[in-house]
Amino acid sequence: MQKIHEFHRQSIQDKEAFWAREAQRIHWQTPFERTLDYSRPPFARWFVGGRTNLCYNAVDRWLDTQADQPALIWVSTEVEQEIVYTRADLAREVNAAAAILQEQGVVKGDRVLVYLPMIPQAAFFMLACARIGAIHSVVFGGFAAHNLAQRIDDARPRLIVSTDAGSRGGRPIAYKPLLDQAIQQSSHAPERVVLVDRGLVPMTLTAGRDLDYATLRARHLDAQVPVVWLESSEPSYVLYTSGTTGNPKGVQRDTGGYAVALCASMEYIFGGKPGDVYFSSSDVGWVVGHSYVVYGPLLNGQATVMYEGTPVRPDAAILWKIVEDHHVNALFSAPTAIRVLKKHDPALLHRHDLSSLDRIYLAGEPLDELTGKWLSEVLNKPVVDNYWQTETGWPILSAQPGVQEVPTRFGSPTFPVYGFDVRVVDETTGRDCGPNQKGVVAIEPPLPPGALSTIWGDDARFVKTYFGSFPGRMTYSTSDWGLVDDDGYWYILGRTDDVINVAGHRLGTREIEESVNTHPAVAESAVVGVADEIKGQVAVAFAVLRSQDLLSEDGAQDRLAAEIQRVIEQRNGAVARPARILFVTALPKTRSGKVLRRAIVALCERRDPGDLTTIEDPSALDQIRQAL
């Protein structure tokens, strides 16, 4: 394992030499003068004075060698359509989109809000913004009017790009009425909206404000829009975090650092090379969609698959069918999608030829040991658990097969990624923890290229939120618990705000979940801390069983609950025993697969569950209500 650790050591000890070398992966219109300026901690500026452009590097740079090769492969099982855009096609569409933006007065530094489903125009407009130096703010299509209005007011866009509707499970979901409401609710709405009419639901355009994309596109199809070269630290986009734990924060990304970091990650972490095909099933509204549907693969000369649809429609083999049809080399998905597949016929996993596929990457939430193991065994492919955040833009902890193949361990996202000086820090003393000691996962600044440069419009909040957690040191806090074992493997143990305090004992709900999940009857679970007059808090567990038949016998529920209690007692101690174990058939989750803990806790405490617009399946909440 020498090599991977040595590589990491170099990236930390001699970071300037390391990143100056990696920076050669991209085109610099003007070379940078200094690799790093860290004169104003914790604000880091990478590749100072260098001028570059994300769109040029993702599109134009590959036109000489790959004009006729696939660049963007769009697959929609929602509207049953597939379009393959070559790099030349992509260049044409992006130039047209850039010309549309310019015609509407969008200039460098202006924000453009993109509120679109998984359609190619989302990528066209993101790249078009990058081309002219405008800052995109993509808002996940699942957000409704209120969230959208909040983001409009924070980003103050010059223009919004949207559509008549998305589609989910074959049913259209109107976007336009939500957009109209949001614009009405916000105090900084733009004067112009460009609408992609998919013909899914009728939509009325507001005269003087709304413009039809197809009409504008036809007019600009042959446009050649010059690239606006940005200084490396100038912002490329703002993206709001999921808001799982609190108020979403507008993560601001730079230009040069992001390009270099993503390009390098495509090789070192994802084992990709120009010409390869990459498929991330994330929505463009999330960070994975930014980094690994749009920018990463394209920057590295790879083709990217953009998928509109669910993992189970028309059947649970659809992801594998896409892999076969398009010779996908690396697939990036989320543990939640895999848990869903686990409930379907395993034969579906063998229906397609997966010989092109090297590895499967999963991120976004903890990958439990059983799910990871199950997937790698049925597919006989390596499964790479990678841990990161919207803030970091690319993985913090991950196997790095492009550096060195190392044995992975289920339940662990392996080792720190080069560039990230990751520590486990004791929150009370502020000191580094030893092996097997639980603490907060933290990153010693300067943060590497590609990580957030600040919170949009709020430097003070950036410093306070991320660098104000530990006494006596200014270290970035991920707000996740973790530990490193004796062999140097890292484990994520849950979010710091998911810790519950039962009669003075601090317990991670995630550790209890892991124990619940080891029971063979359990498919997945959520454990939350609920206010209790006597103990302060108690744990309440919600378990989804592999099959409902398990509950059909008399007394099965009590028997199973008792068995699960025993497992928890053995693994976490009697103090961790949940006050109640309840059975449901689904957990309330966001569409990116994160369990909506806020909402579950609120229901348990008989409070209003609050904002639920990102929920995947509202009936899951009713089940929680009923179970209680």
Our CB check for ligand ATP shows the closer of 303 and 331 to be 331
464 is a contact residue toward ligand ATP (CB under 6 A): no
413 is a contact residue toward ligand ATP (CB under 6 A): yes
Of 504, 509, 469, residue with least CA distance to 493: 509
Report angle CA 314, 320, 325 to the nearest 5 degrees.
Answer: 95
Query: What is d(CA 511, CA 438) in angstroms, rounded to the nearest whole number?
Result: 12
Give the x/- contact pattern for ligand ATP in 583-612, rule: CB under 6 A.
Answer: -----------x------------------
- Amino acid (1-letter code) at residue 396: I
Query: What is d(CA 196, CA 214) in angstroms, rounded to the nearest whole number?
Result: 7
Q: Which residue is nearest to ligand ATP (CB)?
A: 244
Our CB check for ligand ATP shows the closer of 133 and 395 to be 395
Continuous segment of H or E residues that includes residue 320: helix 318-326
480 is a contact residue toward ligand ATP (CB under 6 A): yes
Give the x/- contact pattern for ligand ATP in 264-293, rule: CB under 6 A.
Answer: -----------------------x------
C-alpha to C-alpha distances, 595 to 131, 393, 506, 523, 552, nearest whole angstrom:
36, 21, 21, 14, 27
Query: What is d(CA 66, CA 350) in angstroms, rounded to the nearest whole number?
Result: 32
Our CB check for ligand ATP shows the closer of 74 and 490 to be 490
Please report how close the Cβ of residue 407 comes to ligand ATP at its closest, in angstroms. 18
366 is a contact residue toward ligand ATP (CB under 6 A): yes
Helices vs. strands in the chain: H and E counts, helices first:
20, 30
Give the DSSP letter of residue 283: -
Among residues 117, 190, 248, 450, the one that binds ligand ATP under rule CB under 6 A = 248
What residues contact residue 325 under an 8 Å CB cut-off, 6+ apart?
75
The number of angstroms, rounded, from the C-alpha of 454 to the middle of its chain's C-alpha atoms is 18
Total of residues contacting ligand ATP (CB under 6 A): 25
Q: Tokens 């600044």 identify what position?
A: 445
Both structure tokens of 335 = 């543990």
Please report how close the Cβ of residue 501 comes to ligand ATP at its closest, in angstroms. 19
Our CB check for ligand ATP shows the closer of 245 and 557 to be 245
Query: Applying CB under 6 A, which part among 338-346, 381-389, 428-436, 596-604 lies near ligand ATP?
Result: 381-389
Of 521, 532, 34, 617, residue with least CA distance to 310: 617
389 is a contact residue toward ligand ATP (CB under 6 A): yes
Among residues 11, 242, 252, 515, the one that binds ligand ATP under rule CB under 6 A = 242
Query: What is d(CA 36, CA 449) in angstroms, rounded to the nearest whole number?
Result: 9
Our CB check for ligand ATP shows the closer of 75 and 526 to be 526
Among residues 265, 304, 390, 454, the one that binds ligand ATP under rule CB under 6 A = 390
Query: Applying CB under 6 A, which part among 7-15, 40-48, 102-110, 387-395 lies near ligand ATP?
Result: 387-395
Our CB check for ligand ATP shows the closer of 166 and 494 to be 494
In residues, how long is the chain?
Answer: 628
Give the x/- contact pattern for ligand ATP in 488-527, rule: CB under 6 A.
Answer: ----x--x--------------------------------
Give the DSSP letter of residue 615: B
- Amino acid (1-letter code) at residue 418: Y
Among residues 52, 104, 163, 241, the one that binds ligand ATP under rule CB under 6 A = 241
Binding site for ligand ATP (CB under 6 A): 241-246, 248, 287, 363-367, 385-390, 413, 478, 480, 492, 495, 594
